[in-house]
């Protein structure tokens, strides 16, 4: 049996997660969180300084695990954007942490994770995408274009994470989406190289 303090903390984490998912961080009631966990507010403050600390304790293990997954994939694919297997690993991880993903992407307003979606795009993916696009095009590619493509990619991932798909369906969808993305990428690179050739041609 868990020690009493561990039981209280676990109950608060479970109750907090459900309240944050249902109402978002800002509107979640600390009083309701404590009541549903069958603990007093005094017991809450013996484990957490404030409501945000509870939220962070729920999501931070998943954030740390995602960072490790992302860094590992980046090391394996220094000269590319990753493989289908890497995409599948990322999607599988997120599907196994759906509630935490929803908390970070949709329910974090009012916490230090309010900008999590922006962090994903700007800090995790954008530098690699921009460098890869520039290298493939042989010239600097318009950053807004790269960011729009990234946001489209994140929307694809979100649908796979939250959608009611089997693991086998996810694998098949990722494989087909990869073919579609590669064709679009190659067509875009061809267009950009043609534009570069025309601009460099003597008048």
Q: Tens digits of per-residue pLDDT, 14-45?
A: 999 999 999 999 999 999 999 999 999 999 99
The two most distant CA atoms of the chain are separated, in Å, by: 82
- The number of beta carbons lying within 10 Å of the beta carbon of residue 201 is 7
Tell me the mean pLDDT in the region 169-194. 92
Is residue 184 scored above 90 in pLDDT? yes
What is the predicted pLDDT for the residue at 84? Answer: 80
* Domains of the chain by residue range: 59-200
Lowest-confidence segment of 63-67, 84-88, 130-134, 172-176 by average pLDDT: 84-88
Is the pLDDT at 162 greater than 60, yes or no? yes
Helix (H, G, I), strand (E, B) or coil at 18: helix
What is the pLDDT, as a whole number, of residue 200?
Answer: 65
pLDDT at residue 86, as a whole number: 84
User: Among 50-64, 67-81, 127-141, whose mean pLDDT is lowest?
Assistant: 67-81
Kindly state the DSSP code that residue 107 receives in the 8-state scheme.
S
Comparing CA positions, the residue from 91, 10, 96, 5 lying closest to residue 58 is 10
Return mean pLDDT, the chain. Answer: 90
pLDDT of residue 2: 41
**pLDDT band of 3, cuts 50, 70, 90:** very low
| Burial class (CB within 10 angstroms; exposed 0-12, middle 13-18, buried 19+) of 15 | buried
pLDDT at 102: 95
Q: pLDDT digit string (tens) for 85-144? A: 888 888 999 999 999 999 999 999 999 999 998 998 898 889 989 999 999 998 899 999
Residue 174 CA: distances (Å) to CA of 59, 69, 119, 157: 26, 18, 23, 9
Task: Please report the pLDDT score of residue 174 as a whole number.
Answer: 92
The sign of the CA dihedral 116, 58, 17, 53 is negative
Weakest-pLDDT range from 59-63, 77-81, 91-95, 97-101: 77-81
């Amino acid at each position: 049996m868990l020690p009493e303090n561990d039981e209280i903390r676990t109950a608060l984490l479970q109750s907090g997660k459900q309240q944050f998912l249902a109402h978002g961080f800002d509107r979640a009631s600390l009083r309701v969180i404590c009541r549903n966990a069958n603990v007093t507010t005094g017991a809450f403050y013996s484990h957490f300084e404030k409501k945000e600390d509870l939220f962070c304790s729920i999501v931070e293990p998943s954030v740390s695990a995602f960072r490790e997954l992302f860094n590992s994939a980046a090391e394996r694919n220094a000269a590319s954007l990753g493989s289908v297997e890497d995409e599948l690993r990322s999607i599988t991880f997120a599907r196994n942490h759906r509630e935490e993903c929803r908390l970070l992407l949709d329910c974090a307003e009012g916490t230090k994770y309010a900008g999590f979606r922006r962090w994903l795009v700007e800090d995790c993916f954008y530098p690699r995408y921009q460098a890869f696009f520039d290298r493939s095009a042989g010239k600097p590619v318009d950053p807004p274009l790269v960011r729009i493509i990234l946001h489209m990619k994140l929307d694809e991932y979100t649908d796979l994470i939250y959608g009611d798909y089997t693991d086998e369906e996810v694998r098949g969808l990722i494989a087909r989406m990869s073919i579609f993305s590669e064709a679009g990428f190659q067509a875009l690179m061809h267009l950009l190289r043609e534009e570069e050739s025309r601009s460099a041609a003597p008048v």
